Structure 1
Amino acid sequence: MAEPLAGLDGIDWAGLDHAYGSAEDVPDLLRALSSPDEDERDAALGELFTNIFHQGRRYGAAAAAVPFLLALASHPGTPDRTGPLYLTAALAIGYDAAHLPSGVDIRAWREEAARLRATEDRDRFDFARALRSAEAELAAYDAVRAGLPTVRKLLSDDDPGVRATAAYTAGWFPEEATATLPDLEALLQSEQDANVIAHALVAAGLLDGRALLPRFREHLAGAEPLPRWAAATALARLGDADAPVIAELAASSASPPEGHMAFLEGDLRLYSALTLAALDEVPPDAVDAVLDGLTRTSDDASFPMAEAALRLTFRTPALPLPRFADLTPAQQRTVRTIAELPPESWRWGNLMEILHAWGLPTDHDDCRRYARLA
């Protein structure tokens, strides 16, 4: 097999940028991903997540790094191949929370990039930065798209962690669904690892894999909790959310199954709540389950769950703020649940921003008074 980093020194890395300026340090970081020293590999991967993927932003060096990351992920001599592969997915889409539960809307993404390129209002001080960022992000996405044949081959890798991460990566490219879905179906026909199965089911749902509806239903009725949750998630994404699907998502919103999912960094409670919030109608017991799940969160895990609960029960911001007595019972319970979150949730500005956007009191005491709590 060819050396995975062949051609690395042929790229003008100093002429490319990342979050801290010149990307001339990227080649050594990529080389360190092959180090036999685990600490060195972890440090290099962490630094790459910091510079070419900085808080979700991608830079000029991101697209250039993608082929080497994929080569490392597919090379048997790489000690830990899931790390480079997961970074590849992150470079393609940023934080996956921006795309879930519906998946990547690549048409809107490309249209927005085209609009920026065509705009005549180029005198704004932030325009050049916005255009450069949009170009770098789309270039990174298309670089991973070009490498999808390698990703699809990894669906049959000997390492279950690599198979799961390959399925996760493949699910973000709807333009390649025709080529990817048969490989996901083949994986599901033979796979025994529950974690890999769950990743493949969610990815197939994100790619509109309607031909796999019988497979989804089979796993929804199965005994394995993680594939059952994944099947429910996929079926809801495909608009097939009947009572068993909603019941599974509701149960997972309150008490999610155990597993090591890449989606939303493994926050299956949040993924379940977001999926329910995206449905047109949700029964009261499912709303209660989401709110039960919110009560079991604290600190930064509370923020997205609170927003999912508000989306589920309010649908649109409460502007102007109505009297508490005029809220529906589900809305009242949502406000009270948020007001009763622990102090470690209320000490962050993130929660204040969410409440402000939804028209609710942003001060803890004010929120409690509005909710008629002591």
Structure 2
Amino acid sequence: MPFLLALAADPGAPERTWPLYLATALALGFDETHLPSGVAIAEWRAETARLLATDAEAEARRLDAWVAEASDDRERRSRERARKMFDFGWAQRTATAELAAYDAVRAGLPTLRALLGDTDAGVRATAAYAVGWFPEESADSLAALSALLGTERDPAVITNALISAGLLDGRDLLHRIREHLAGTEPGPRWAAAIALARLDEADAPVIARLAASCTSPPELEADFLNGEVRLYSALSLAALDETPPDAVQAVIEGLARTSDAESFSMAEVVLRLTFGTPVRPLPPFADLTPVQRQAVRTIAELPPDSWRWTNLMEILDAWGVPTDHDDCRRYAGLA
């Protein structure tokens, strides 16, 4: 990790954003697993400590109990497959290595914060993305982000900085974040809504901005979630204590406008918003609520290039929705 960060900090090195992206990916894995809330580092450390403190026999007993607690045959079969594939030694080694990689990048945060002042806007933007994943160092990182936001003019840098401020619980920056929500730049305006939702400040203007971004995502540069503005907006709306019906409609409409790989994560958000928890098997279509019927019908009407993905099949199966396209259309009364 020090080598990657040293490359990023060397003004003479080419493509300096890529070492930053690589270091962040090694620390986190896929960032989608941590969004929209951010890295739950206390839980991560506690689970790693638990796994390292136990032994193979005790872990086997725990997993056997987990399989026995399955709510139905489908879930039990899924847990049994996971149980059979589990290797205790590999799990311990992996847990140790993953947390060590995270802590190695965390140790380099002074370098990352210094790069917030780099002359290259791309480096500043990537550094602003990277610092948001380390809540244990939030005080120093928020101070650096505040200084950056006080002078920065590049929209991509501001966009990443605002989202990181939200992930780090930067409530002292609420006034500045709201200024960007009221601004005209698409990226910072959207990022401000994402940050405010994360900070439990999702009033009507925030929800309206996120809903609009589900149906018609603005064109902008953002590193979080690979720049998937629609999905990040939907995840933020789904994370609210209570998502208004109009916002749920916006997420469903957003799903209807997806295709191919973009569909499956949006479908999962829609099912979570409309069903709450999986219902297996689903009742007759007519017995669903109107919004549940709309959700299933929208999924059934997704194009064939969405239905070719195993990812979508697995999500639908988990929620009790027919996994064959024709069967789903028949269930929804479309065939």
TM over 0.5, yes or no?
Answer: yes
Match of 1:269 in 2: 230
**Partner residue of 2:90?**
129
CA contact (8 A) 1:236 1:245 kept: yes
* CA displacement, residues 133-181 of structure 1 (integer Å, 9 cap, x when unaligned): 1111100000000000000000011111111110110000000001110
Gaps of 5+ in 1: 1-65
Amino acid at match of 1:327: L
- Of structures 1 and 2, the one with the larger relative CO (CA 8 A, separation 6+) is 2
Q: Aligned AA for 2:132?
A: G
- The one-letter amino acid paired with 1:276 is L
Q: Which amino acid aligns with 1:90?
A: A
The residue that corresponds to 1:92 in the other structure is 27
Q: Which residue of 2 aligns with 1:76?
A: 11
Residue from 39, 46, 51 that aligns with 1:116: 51
Gapped regions of structure 2 (runs ≥ 5): 61-85
**Matched length:** 309
Between 1:289-298 and 1:149-158, the stretch displaced more is 289-298
Contact 2:186–2:220 at 8 Å: present in 1 too?
Answer: no
Cα-Cα RMSD: 1.1
Cα distance in 1 for partners of 2:134, 2:287 equals 44
| Aligned-pair CA distance for 1:120 | 2.1
For 1:195 and 1:331, locate their aligned partners in 2 and report how far apart those are by CA, in whole Å.
37
Give, as a single letter, the amino acid of the residue that structure 1 aligns with 2:136: E
Q: 2:113 — aligned with what?
A: 152
Counterpart-to-counterpart distance in 1, 2:278 and 2:35:
20
The yes-or-no answer on 1:323 pairing with 2:258 is no
- For residues 285-329 of structure 1, the C-alpha deviation after alignment (integer angstroms, 9 at most, x for no partner) is 211211111112111111111111111211111233122122222
TM-score (norm 2): 0.90
Rounded Cα–Cα distance in structure 1 between residues aligned with 2:160 and 2:262: 22
2:180 maps to 1:219 = yes
**Is residue 9–residue 16 contact of structure 2 (8 Å, CA) maintained in 1?**
yes
Deviation at 1:184, TM superposition (A): 0.2
Q: Which AA in structure 2 matches 1:128?
A: G
- Equivalent-residue separation in structure 1 for 2:39 and 2:146 (angstroms): 20
| Conserved? CA contact 1:172–1:206, under 8 Å | yes
Q: Deviations for 1:47-87, whole angstroms, at most 9, x for unmatched residues?
A: xxxxxxxxxxxxxxxxxxx1100000000110110000111
SS at match of 2:208: helix
Asked if 1:165 is matched to 2:117, the reply is no
**Residues 278 and 312, structure 1, Cα contact 8 Å, conserved in 2:** no
Q: Could you tell me the TM-score, scaled by structure 1's length? A: 0.81
Give % identity.
70
Which of 155, 162, 174 does residue 201 from structure 1 map onto? 162
Equivalent residue number for residue 208 of structure 2:
247
Q: Displacement, 1:121?
A: 2.4
Q: Within the alignment, does 1:337 sit opposite 2:312 as a pair?
A: no
Shift, 1:260, TM fit: 2.1
